[in-house]
């Protein structure tokens, strides 16, 4: 049996489990902890600053080390975003994400990690998040079609 066939899925699973464990350990899967961090005018909980700082430090060092390689371990080349524009869809998406995070106390990663020990909030949030993804795909596709039709002439 070829072990290389399973290397990528096993590495993905390991990375996801490590990420989920880190989220749970840091308290990011507890909405009240996150909302306490976001409540800068009330009873602000600054403890997540250390989580965010640690994440930025690890990502900075990790990206520098990884991008020195010619290619990733389990792919032929890196797939980095080419669009660097700060435009209305990006700002609108960031605003909508921030509002949703502030209201619910969840963002996608911690919500998915919470499936290990789901509660009622998670079971409401996840279907709403998936519906939002679907709505985006539908509306983004509708916005692209007229432009694509116009350029095909």
- CA-based nearest residue to 106, from 88, 124, 94: 124
Burial tier of 111 (Cβ tally within 10 Å: 0-12, 13-18, 19+): buried
CA distance 95 to 80: 23
pLDDT digits (tens, 9 = 90+) for 87-146: 998 898 899 888 888 888 888 888 888 888 888 888 888 898 899 889 888 888 666 655
Domain boundaries, the chain: 4-151
Q: Indicate the pTM of the whole model.
A: 0.68
State whether residue 44 is helix, strand or coil.
coil
Q: Tell me, what's the pLDDT at 3?
A: 65
Phi and psi of 69, rounded to 5°? -75, 155
Alpha-helical regions (H) of 27-119 = 31-38, 48-66, 88-104, 108-113
pLDDT digits (tens, 9 = 90+) for 17-58: 998 888 888 888 888 888 888 888 998 999 989 988 999 999
CA distance 17 to 20: 5
Phi and psi of 45, rounded to 5°? -110, 100
CA distance 137 to 127: 15
Q: Decide if 109 contacts 19 (C-beta within 8 A).
A: yes
Tell me which residue has tokens 């976001």. 38
CA distance 98 to 105: 10
């Amino acid at each position: 049996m070829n072990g290389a066939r399973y290397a990528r899925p096993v590495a993905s699973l390991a990375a996801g489990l490590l990420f989920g464990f880190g989220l749970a350990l840091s308290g990011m899967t507890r909405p009240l902890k996150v909302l306490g961090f976001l409540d800068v005018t009330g009873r602000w909980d600054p403890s997540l600053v250390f989580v965010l700082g640690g994440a930025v430090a690890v990502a900075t060092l990790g990206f520098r080390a990884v991008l020195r390689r010619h290619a990733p371990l389990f792919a032929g080349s890196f797939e980095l975003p080419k669009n660097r524009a700060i435009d209305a869809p990006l700002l609108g998406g960031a605003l909508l994400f921030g509002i949703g995070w502030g209201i619910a106390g969840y963002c996608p990663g911690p919500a998915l990690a919470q499936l290990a020990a789901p509660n009622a909030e998670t079971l409401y949030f996840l279907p709403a998040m998936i519906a939002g993804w679907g709505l985006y795909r539908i509306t983004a596709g509708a916005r692209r079609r007229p432009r694509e039709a116009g350029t095909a002439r």
